[in-house]
Amino acid sequence: MTSIGQIVRRGGAGAAAAPDPVRDPAGTSARSRRGSPPVRRLSLRTRLRRDGALLVMVLPAVLLLGVFAYVPMLGNVIAWQSYSPYTGFLGSPFVGWANFERVFSNPLFIDAVQNTLLITAFQLVFFFPVPIVLALLLHSVITPQIRTTIQSIVYLPHFFSWVLVVTIFQQIFGGAGLINQTLRDAGLGSGFDLMTNPDTFLVLLTMQSVWKDAGWGIIIFLAALSTVSPEQYEAAAVDGANRWRRMWHITLPALRPVIVLLLILRLGDALTVGFEQLILQRGAVGADVAEVIDTFVYYQGVIYGDWGFAAAAGLVKGVVSLALVLGANKLAHVFGESGVYQKS
Amino acid sequence: MNTTTTAGRVGDLPVRRRSFLGMVAAGAAVAGVPSLLTACSSGDAPPAVAPGAAPAAGVLPTYVPVDYVEPDFPGVNGSTPGFATLPTELVQSVPEPPGSGSTFTAMTPLWGTIPPRDGNQYYEAVNEMLGASIEFQITDGNTYGDKLATVLASAKDVPDWVCIPTWNIPPRFGSEIVPNLFQDLTDHLGGDRVKDYPNLANIPTDAWKFCVFNGRLYGLPFPGEIITDATFYRQDVLEELGIAPDVRTGQDLLDLAAELTGGGRWGAEDLWVTAAAMHAVPPKWRLEGDRLVHRVETEEYRAALAWNAELFASGSVHPDAVADNSGEAKTRFQSGSSLIMSDGLGAWHEALRDNLASNPGYWQQPFDPFAADGGTPVLWKGNPANIFSFLKKSDDAARITELLALANVLAAPFGTTEFDLVQNGVEGVHYTRGDDGLPVPTALAATELQPTYIFLVDGPIANTRVQYPGFVEASSTWQQKAAEYIADPLFYAQQIVEPSQYASIGQPFADLEKDISRGRKSLADLDAAVETWRASGGEELRTFYQEILDAQ
Amino acid sequence: MSTGSGHAPQIDAGGALVPRDLAQTADGRAAAARRRRRSRHRAPWEEPASPLGAVVKFLVLAGVVLAVLIPLWTVVLTSLSTQAETIRVGGLVTVPGELTFNAYRQILSGGIVLRATLVSTGITAVGTVLSTVVSVLAAYGLSRPSSLWHRPLLFVFLVTMFFGAGMIPTYLLVSNLGLIDTYWALILPGAVSAFNVLILRNFFMGLEPAVLDAARIDGAGDWRILARVVLPMSRAVVAVVALFYGVGYWNAFFNAILYINDNAKWPLQLVLRSYVLQGVTLPGSGVGQVDVATGAVTGLPVKMAVMVLAIVPILVVYPFVQRHFTKGVIFGAIKG
């Protein structure tokens, strides 16, 4: 056989505690993957000299964000103002926490938060894993032509507008849709209407999201999978690992960091769910199930030009999101993952 | 994540809700004027001059009507006059190009494809007629509100001439933006001074009334029609079915919809606008004794909801309409899978445009107005203007005079060469004359000729769609009949800018109208919502309006 | 860089259950040959799929592909139908009827479309290169554990994912920087996506530290390591991030609405949008409202044609990205 180079093994060469993935089903290898020794306290000057190049590399991005994200972010001061575009940030009177109080005192806000979290939770379970499974499935297709063909088809719905996606679903699952027509023609009644049923709305939303974005979502996993060398599989196969064990011990660990990262970021985004998708179907199922935080802010604040209200709601969301990300990150550490931030 | 910019992006959503004024932005699936609901917009505390107070004498321009062509179907009570033929002789209403060669920038929305600026023969021809050139900054109409909000926040970016649709008016527009950014036109157009601009003097007074902010005249109007909506049915299909509809009550309409439903065909689309019209639900407020009553508090509103809920419950509504897919409502109606539909009157000729070629027998017809109980119907007047434009404040009086002179040209009515050029472009370039004398657009027209000037100012409306056989007559006679029932809603034609903290309290009713219609909620929920409305600012709003009423 | 020499022994092979050279036994070779005959692409060590598994896999993948292709077919078909046809069927067309290229002809004949395509291509090209370079640099700069200030810097990125700036403050900034009506206004405000930086960083951190250490011991600085070691090993993820940026720039239209007054500078998406909006009835417009008879086709076919045209660029670009997904290509690169 050709080389089973140490290099292709993560945690190979240098790392002392580099267990063989096949023989280490507990998966401790992943945890020790980042094998750098703890840093000793160095003087700032030493560290500057050592990391100066890194800082220079980060600089352009930080400058761009500083100018185009942070400077206008100061505009969020209007959350504490009775803001008017004409008088501007300097001229608008301050109103304390009044805008925040209006957000929290609105009974619809609580409903919107509940709906948002429910949808997020449902989609975490039924949507988030789909691209991973699809990517693994595609990865297991052996003929390259078939694999690349399928790859270049499944992502296409990502480029459809939500209007079109909803229309397509309506033509299939609606009361005048394909399924219902078939049922009616077969004399099986015509009660089937997935599009207007508030009770199954979560399922509908998730189906639509999966159809539209799962194929696009696999791209990042395909990139991660391409970092796995065939030699690793070969070595494992030679060591007697069957396909499932190879998937478990080689493929999944290769995906794990990116899965964890995306999961953390999705948790941080827990308060954001498909705005367009929901606003399009609000009338079909009613605001009771379709009102989420973003649509709430839109209807209560934005379309009436109530910028202070919208800014206050946005800030509340931002704080909660950041807290969620940091919390999820901590949780990742508990499970031995590095997450967004690593422990230090 | 970022609510403000996220919301900015929703301009392209088919969030199509009817405003209290019954406007509708229907059509393309990606159409939508989300903030239509805010028709009267929001703002802040009342300015020094009570908002809505009747303008002082000499503020409104004197109305001097000119008729270059006699209408075949004159307007009744202000309804749109109809012209069954195009005049053979056009009048040039402004003898000389009034401009002095200046260049002005103008910002307008456009619901259509962007014409090229360079080498555009349409622009060149109109500019030549004006004697000045107008450089357009055109913005996609559905996101125009966002563009406006930003530009108005940055005084140096405000162009010379700005179009502002009523549904895009930003908060505190009347109290802060108008007086600070825009030119007070009272001294140029008020009273008899407008007679220097005869085409502007030809614009009806109600439209000008709507351009008054804080007691002063600021805007130039794009006049609206007083009858905006109708309930259409597919007369051609019904004829085939051997049904001659005779709808005089709400029950009649329910029965008809039920009769038409079956076999993969449904009787109706969502008829909420029809329900509100037949019950004469007031657009916003009504005076009961000396107490103001909001539309959501009225019995009529309740009855309209109950009626629409009955319609949905009967199973006569197309399932896609139940799913609130209004974007394709016209397609369903025109394909004959639903047969009754509420729509703007403008949808009538558009349907003919889109269908007559492939289906020469196509005809949709509005029901004559009727009241739910069979009594005398009431039709509330539509906004006298839905779009207006403002001139940027300038110390240079000559510049303002020049702009107004240009506006005078653009406001030329039907029957003038100016109107003809703005409407049809240049003969031989943008259109040719067909055998019947009607202009036939050329391929170049599709590229170059888009309605941009009309968003700056427009003359009085006229129905001149002679290209569809029988249309002007049918439409005009229907309007003449309907206009007999026309009534002014309270606070008609007044610019009232509500305090912004109350702006959104009406929002739950938009949801409730859908929920109750579709049987997800009951009228008991309406009572609760009205209570909430009162508690969360409705009473303050009532007081706010009461003060305006008292000041009149 | 070490490319393991020949038969490198497996680390910690204690208790090996299977002789490593099984595949080289005569039996193994024969079996491998048989398998090779059955599937040209199956690696010699790979066991054949179980019939049931193959059927299930086939059905699932076929289902997935059909679920995409059938709606896509109706969209393409609708874009090729006449408006009369869409009205006749009352929506999207599923069975070919009267076919025409009118919708495409109408969209593409407008003089402004060609120009807008050039504008969009330019913005996308410049923007994607800029964003990708800046993001790769930042991601590498933040990828070394325990480097100076990396935690506060990372926080700087993270915050931008959750706290947005309002539309008006951003506009005022762009206006005061003098960027109104310049293409930079369409590139700079969204040039850095913290999400993409985090993705890149995540991949960079997953790279074999030993390789980096080895390079460092050889005296390579960070710039050199990034260019010679990290980038060649990360071509897939860099391609993906470039794709994300590219798609973002190509599809963006909202910034152009706010920052570009000169319609000749509009990007393609904004121009295409205007075809979708065409034919919208204005609020309050009745029979009399002056609308100009341009004879333009509106309706579903045009909308669907716009949708199809939106997909075309990605169809062109995707294969170039996909090349980097091929199994093992990266390792070839390292070794080569």
Residues B3-13 pLDDT 10s: 333 333 333 33
Find out whether B408 and B94 touch, Cβ atoms under 8 Å. Answer: yes
Q: What six digits make up the tokens of A99?
A: 């805008």
User: What per-residue confidence (pLDDT) applies to C110?
Assistant: 65
Residue in C closest to A144 by C-alpha? C41
Collapsing DSSP states into helix, strand and coil, what is residue B19? coil
Question: Which residues in chain C are contacts of A7 at CB distance < 8 A?
Answer: 1-4, 208, 210-211, 334
Average pLDDT over residues C156-177: 91
Tell me if A230 and C327 make a contact (CB, 8 A cut-off). yes
Q: Which residue has the higher pLDDT, C230 or A237?
A: C230
User: What per-residue confidence (pLDDT) applies to B47?
Assistant: 38
Domain boundaries, chain B: 42-226+384-475, 229-380+503-551
Q: What six digits make up the tokens of C148?
A: 């100076």
pLDDT at B26 over 90: no
User: What per-residue confidence (pLDDT) applies to A57?
Assistant: 95
User: What per-residue confidence (pLDDT) applies to A8?
Assistant: 33
Label residue C280 by pLDDT band (50, 70, 90): low
Least confident stretch, C148-157, C166-175, C279-288, C308-317: C279-288
Average pLDDT over residues B307-315: 96
As a CATH number, domain B229-380+503-551 is 3.40.190.10
Q: What six digits make up the tokens of C14?
A: 């204690």
Is residue A41 included in any domain, yes or no?
no
Closest CA to C329 of C226, C216, C196, C239: C239
Q: Which domain holds residue A267?
A: 108-300
Name every residue whose Cβ is closer than 8 Å to that of residue A157 and which is 6 or more positions away in sequence. A165, A211, A212, A213, A215, A216, C68, C71, C72
Is residue A311 included in any domain, yes or no?
no
Residue in A closest to B42 by C-alpha? A304
Q: Which residue has the higher pLDDT, C290 or C146?
A: C146
Interface of B with A in 195-254 (CB under 8 A): none
Question: Which residues in chain B are contacts of A311 at CB distance < 8 A?
Answer: 3-4
Is residue C76 included in any domain, yes or no?
no
Tell me if B503 and A304 make a contact (CB, 8 A cut-off). yes
Tell me if A154 and C8 make a contact (CB, 8 A cut-off). no
Name all chains with 3 or more CB-CB pairs below 8 Å to chain A: B, C
**Dihedral sign from CA coordinates of A161, A166, A167, A168:** positive
Least confident stretch, A294-303, C12-21, C110-119: C12-21
Interface of C with A in 48-77 (CB under 8 A): 57, 60-61, 64-65, 67-69, 71-72, 74-75
In Å, how far is B504's CA from the nearest CA of chain A?
Answer: 5
Over residues A230-250, the pLDDT tens digits come to 788 888 888 888 888 888 888
In Å, how far is C115's CA from the nearest CA of chain A?
Answer: 22
Is residue A76 included in any domain, yes or no?
no
Least confident stretch, A231-240, B271-280, C119-128, C179-188: A231-240
The tokens 């919390």 sit on which residue? Answer: A327
- The total number of structural domains that make up chain C: 1
Find out whether C128 and C319 touch, Cβ atoms under 8 Å. Answer: no
Over residues B77-105, the pLDDT tens digits come to 888 999 988 888 899 999 999 999 999 99
In terms of DSSP H, where are the helices of B105-203? Answer: 121-130, 144-152, 178-181, 186-189, 198-201
Counting residues of chain B whose pLDDT is more than 70, the rounded percentage is 90
User: What per-residue confidence (pLDDT) applies to C42?
Assistant: 64
User: What per-residue confidence (pLDDT) applies to C298?
Assistant: 60
User: What per-residue confidence (pLDDT) applies to A188?
Assistant: 75
Is residue C4 included in any domain, yes or no?
no
- The total number of structural domains that make up chain A: 1
- CA dist A5 to A51, A221, A233, C12, C67, Å? 31, 24, 12, 14, 42
Q: What residue type is C125 in one-letter code?
A: A
Least confident stretch, A13-17, B103-107, C87-91, C294-298: A13-17
Label residue A342 by pLDDT band (50, 70, 90): low
The CA distance from A98 to A96, in Å, is 6
Average pLDDT over residues C191-215: 90
Tell me if B322 and A175 make a contact (CB, 8 A cut-off). yes
Q: What six digits make up the tokens of C15?
A: 């208790």
Tell me if B21 and C276 make a contact (CB, 8 A cut-off). no
User: What per-residue confidence (pLDDT) applies to A27?
Assistant: 37
What's the CATH number where C260 sits? 1.10.3720.10
Q: What residue type is A261 in one-letter code?
A: L
Greatest mean pLDDT range, B190-194, B211-215, B226-230: B190-194
Over residues B240-280, the pLDDT tens digits come to 999 999 999 999 999 999 999 988 899 999 999 999 999 99
User: What per-residue confidence (pLDDT) applies to C30?
Assistant: 52
Mean pLDDT of chain C: 79
Mean pLDDT of chain B: 85
Counting residues of chain B whose pLDDT is more than 90, the rounded percentage is 55
Label residue C290 by pLDDT band (50, 70, 90): very low
pLDDT at B487 over 60: yes
User: What per-residue confidence (pLDDT) applies to B54?
Assistant: 62
Label residue C336 by pLDDT band (50, 70, 90): very low
Checking B191-195 for CB contacts under 8 A at 24+ apart, the result is: B191/B57, B191/B58, B191/B59, B191/B60, B191/B61, B191/B62, B192/B62, B193/B61, B194/B61, B194/B62, B194/B64, B195/B62, B195/B64
Q: What six digits make up the tokens of B392?
A: 């940027």
Is residue C87 included in any domain, yes or no?
no
Residue in C closest to A240 by C-alpha? C18
User: What per-residue confidence (pLDDT) applies to B119?
Assistant: 86
Name all chains with 3 or more CB-CB pairs below 8 Å to chain C: A, B
pLDDT at C37 over 60: no
In Å, how far is A344's CA from the nearest CA of chain B?
Answer: 29
Average pLDDT over residues C105-124: 85
Q: How many Cβ atoms are within 10 Å of A232's Cβ, its own excluded? A: 23
Closest CA to B226 of C287, A187, A293: C287
Least confident stretch, A46-60, A187-201, B280-294, B461-475: A187-201
Over residues B146-160, the pLDDT tens digits come to 899 889 888 889 999
Least confident stretch, A47-61, B23-37, B410-424: B23-37
The CA distance from B120 to B452, in Å, is 13
- Top CATH class of B42-226+384-475 equals alpha beta
Tell me if C277 and B112 make a contact (CB, 8 A cut-off). yes
Q: What six digits make up the tokens of B545?
A: 């309006």
User: What per-residue confidence (pLDDT) applies to A338?
Assistant: 75
Best A84, A185, A195, A201 member to test B by mutation, with max B CBs in 10 Å, is: A84
pLDDT at A97 over 50: yes
Average pLDDT over residues C232-255: 92
B379-380 and B486-487 beta bridge pairing = parallel
- Residues paired with B43 in a beta bridge: B499
Interface of C with B in 85-124 (CB under 8 A): 86-91, 106, 109-112
User: What per-residue confidence (pLDDT) applies to B8?
Assistant: 31
Residue among A108, A195, A276 whose CB faces B10 most closely: A276
Tell me if A82 and B44 make a contact (CB, 8 A cut-off). yes
The CA distance from B517 to B306, in Å, is 7
Angle at B105 between CA B104 and CA B106, to 5 degrees: 120
Over residues C11-33, the pLDDT tens digits come to 333 333 333 333 344 454 555 45
Q: What residue type is C254 in one-letter code?
A: F
Find out whether B340 and B248 touch, Cβ atoms under 8 Å. Answer: no
Average pLDDT over residues C172-184: 94
Q: Which residue has the higher pLDDT, A152 or C90?
A: A152
Over residues B495-546, the pLDDT tens digits come to 887 777 787 888 889 899 999 999 999 999 999 999 999 998 899 999 999 9
User: What per-residue confidence (pLDDT) applies to B11?
Assistant: 31
Least confident stretch, A27-41, A127-141, B180-194: A27-41
pTM, rounded to two decimals: 0.84
Name all chains with 3 or more CB-CB pairs below 8 Å to chain B: A, C
